[in-house]
Amino acid sequence: MAIDIQQIGKRFRFYTSIKELEMPQLLEMTGSSEEVLSNILCGKNYMLDELVGIVKNFHDLNTQWLIYGEGSMFKPMDENGACKDNHKGCLKKDKAAYLKQMQNMLIELDAAEVAKGHHADVDALKAKLEEYKANHPQE
C-alpha cells in the first residue's frame, strides 16, 4: 500500500485538532522545527524519519491509522480508560463546542479517503461523536 503524505497530513491535523494542540504546543512537545511540522500538517514534502520522530511523542496516536488510514485514530484503551501503553487519557478534553468542527473534519477526511480508495474507520468516529452529543446535550 502506498503512503500518501497529503492524507497523513489531513489525519495528523484532525488528530491535533481533537487534542486541541496548536503549533507552539506541538513545537514544545516534539522539539521539531516549525517548518517540518508545518510540512507534515500541510502534506508537503518531508522525510519519513521526521514524521516518525514527531509521532513518537503522541503515545495515544495509532500510527497505522495515521499512515494508512486503517483502524481507529487512538490506540486501544484498557478497562480503566488508559491507553494500552499506560498513558492516561487519550483525549485531552471532550468539549461539546468542538463536536460540529470535528464532524465537519470527519466528513472532509472521509471524502478524501473514499476518493483515494481507502476505507477508513471514520464511521466509528462519527458514532462516538454522536454518542457524546447524546450524552452531553448543550454543554
CB neighbour list of residue 13: distance below 8 Å, 6 or more residues apart: 41, 105
C-alpha torsion angle, residues 13, 17, 18, 24 (rounded to 10): 110
Q: Which amino acid is at 54?
A: I
Per-residue pLDDT of 10-66, as tens digits, reads 999 999 988 889 999 999 999 999 999 999 999 888 888 899 999 999 989 999 899
Q: Which DSSP category does 51 fall into? A: H
Q: Measure the CA–CA gap between 36 and 34, rounded to whole angstroms.
A: 6
Joined together, the cell numbers standing for residue 100 give: 460540529
CA distance 88 to 59: 10
CA 134 to chain centre: 22
Domains of the chain: 5-135 (1.10.260.40)
Q: What mean pLDDT, rounded, does the chain reach?
A: 77
β partners of residue 16: none
Separation CA 82–CA 69 (nearest Å): 22
> What's the confidence (pLDDT) of residue 138?
63
pLDDT given at position 89: 43
Q: Rounded to two decimals, what is the model's pTM?
A: 0.61
* Stronger pLDDT, 4 or 26, i.e. the higher one: 26
Residue 110's closest CA among 52, 17, 102?
102
* The pLDDT value given to residue 16: 93
